[in-house]
Structure 1
Amino acid sequence: MTKRSIKVRLEDGLDARPVALLVQEASKYESNIYIEVDDKRINAKSIMGMMSLGLCAGEELTVAAEGADEQTAVDNIEKFLSGQVA
C-alpha cells in the first residue's frame, strides 16, 4: 500500500468539475484508491463519494492506493491535486 499526504492546490478546491476529473484520473488505474480526510475514507473512483467531501483549496488529505499500479496512481493524483494536470 502506498499512502501520501497531499494539500489541495486547485484554485476552486474540489467542486463538481474537478471532482469529475479526479474520478476519471483515479479510474485509469487498476489499484483500489481511497481519499482519506479526518475519519472519512472515500473510494476515489466514486463521484458521489468524492462530492460528499466538499474539499476546499488548502485542505490536507491522504491518498491511499493498493494494487499493481499504486505508486503511479498516487503520483498522478498528487500532480492533479497540485494543479499540475489540467
Structure 2
Amino acid sequence: MAVEKTVTITDETGVHARPATVLVNKAGSYAADMNLEYNGKSINLKSIMGVMSLGIPQGAQIKIVANGSDEQEALDAIVEVIKSEGLGE
C-alpha cells in the first residue's frame, strides 16, 4: 500500500536544478519506488531528468508517492527536504 503527500511549492523559482538534485539524491537513498506527480504527469523521483522535465513553478501542488519496504520513512524524508530547502510546505 503506497503512502502519499501533497505539498505546495513556495520557492519563487519553483523546483530548479539544485533542490531537484537534493531531492533525487535523497529519494535514491531509499528502497521504495518514489514518484512525483504534477500536472497530470507522474515521473520517477529518482530521475533528475524526470524531475526537471516537469518544470514545476512556484504555487504548484505536487504529490509525492512512495511504495515499498521503507515507504513512510522515504516519504517523510522527502517532505523534510522540501521544507529544509525552502522549496515548499
- Asked if 1 retains the 8 angstrom alpha-carbon contact of 2:23 and 2:78, the reply is yes
The AA in structure 2 aligned to 1:4 is K
Query: Identity of aligned pairs, percent?
Result: 36
Secondary structure class of the residue paired with 2:51: helix
Specify the alignment match of 2:62 in structure 1. Answer: 61
The 5 Å alignment of 1:63-82 reads: 63-82=64-83
TM-score w.r.t. the length of structure 1 is 0.88
Change (3 A) 1:36 1:49: same
Unaligned runs of 5+ in 2: none
Specify the alignment match of 1:18 in structure 2. Answer: 19
TM-score w.r.t. the length of structure 2 is 0.85
Specify the alignment match of 2:10 in structure 1. Answer: 9
The AA in structure 2 aligned to 1:37 is Y
- Asked if 2 retains the 8 angstrom alpha-carbon contact of 1:4 and 1:63, the reply is yes
Residue by residue, what CA displacement relative to the aligned partner does 1:35-60 show, whole Å, maximum 9, x if unpaired? 00121000000111111011123311
The AA in structure 2 aligned to 1:62 is K
Query: Number of paired residues?
Result: 85
- Asked if 2 retains the 8 angstrom alpha-carbon contact of 1:10 and 1:81, the reply is no
The AA in structure 1 aligned to 2:8 is K
Tell me, in whole angstroms, the C-alpha distance in 1 between the residues paired with 2:28 and 2:15.
17
Specify the alignment match of 1:37 in structure 2. Answer: 38
Tell me, in whole angstroms, the C-alpha distance in 1 between the residues paired with 2:10 and 2:82.
6
Deviation at 1:11, TM superposition (A): 4.7
